[in-house]
Amino acid sequence: MEGKLKNLIIVLILILIACTSAIANDFSVSNISYKKTEDPMSAGDIWISIKANVTNRDPSNILFVELVAIDKDGFELDHVILKGYVEHNKTVILTKKTIMRYDSFKKIHKWICPDIGLY
C-alpha cells in the first residue's frame, strides 16, 4: 500500500509541474523598454513611460504584467504593473506612464518580468 501511495504522490507532483509549465507558457513578454518623459521634478521624482510586447496564447484576454526595475547588482528599484486586453494568439504592446524616484531611474540596469497572468 505504501508503494502505491508513494507512486500516486509522485504522479500528482509531475502533473502539477506539467500544468504549471503549461500555464507559464501561455503568456510571454519581450522588448521591455522605457524612457523619461519629463525632466525631474523638484521633489526628486520623474515621469517615465514603459512598454512591453505581450503575447497571449490563453483564451482569456485581460492580462497583467509585473515589471521590476533592477540595478546592476540585481536589487529591486521599483516595479510597474501593466494591464490590458490581449486577444488569443496575438501580441500587443502594453504601456504605462508612471512616476518613480529620479535616483532610482538613474540606477536601472534592466527590467525583468517576474509575473504575468490573468487580470
Q: Residue 9 pLDDT > 70, yes or no? A: no
Looking at residue 5, what is its pLDDT?
62
Those residues whose C-beta lies under 8 Å from the C-beta of residue 31, and which sit 6 or more positions away, are 51, 52, 53
The per-residue pLDDT for 76 is: 96
Which CATH number fits the domain that encloses residue 14?
2.60.40
Does position 101 have pLDDT exceeding 90, yes or no?
Answer: yes
pLDDT band at residue 18 using 50, 70 and 90 as cut-offs: very low
Instruction: For residue 18, give the 3-state DSSP assignment.
Output: helix
CA dihedral 95, 96, 97, 101 (to 10 degrees): -120
The average pLDDT across 15-32 equals 66
Domain count, the chain: 1
pLDDT at 88 over 70: yes
DSSP β-bridge partners for residue 33: 51
Task: Tell me the residue range of the domain where 52 lies.
Answer: 2-118
